[in-house]
Amino acid sequence: MRKALARGDLGPQGETRALKGYGMDTEKTLLQQIRDKEQEFSRKIDTARADGEVTVAAARTEAEDLLCTADKAGKASAEQVYWNVQGKTAIEIESLDTAANLDQEAARVRGEKNIHEAAERIVRYVTME
């Protein structure tokens, strides 16, 4: 041990005593340095958490805006489809009405052509000729 002291090797306890003598009191202790680091990381975590909350809030707002926009676009598309189908249905109804009117007119014309012959048959049947 004496040889070690002669070489300047003070050992772990001697180093601590030597450091205390050379300004260790003015420097932060290891425990204080650890506490400072913990506080620094705690601040960084709080900042990251706050940034994350802001980001999430912004994303929620954007999502709500997108939903509103999509809802409006969906309603507009549905209304457009409705009016297109209603227009096609109206055209089809008009076409069916026209066809029915043509069929009715054709039946009336055929009936008018056969009225004279039908009247003769009825008279013959009644008179038993």
Tens digits of per-residue pLDDT, 67-118? 999 999 999 999 999 999 999 999 999 999 999 999 999 998 888 888 888 8
Residue 17 scores a pLDDT above 60: no
Mean pLDDT of the chain: 84
At 20-30, the pLDDT tens digits run: 444 455 588 99
> What is the mean predicted confidence (pLDDT) over 32-55?
96
pLDDT at 101: 94
Name the H helices within the chain. 2-7, 11-19, 30-127
Residue 9 scores a pLDDT above 80: no
> What is the mean predicted confidence (pLDDT) over 28-49?
94
- The domain segmentation of the chain, as residue ranges, is 2-127
Could you tell me the pLDDT band of residue 120, with boundaries at 50, 70 and 90?
Answer: confident
> What number of CA atoms fall less than 13 Å from residue 21's CA on the CB side?
6
27 phi, psi to nearest 5 deg? -80, 160
Phi-psi domain of 25 (left: phi exceeds 0; alpha: psi -120 through 50; beta: other) = alpha
pLDDT at 53: 96
The Cα–Cα gap between 18 and 5 comes to: 13
Residue 65 scores a pLDDT above 70: yes
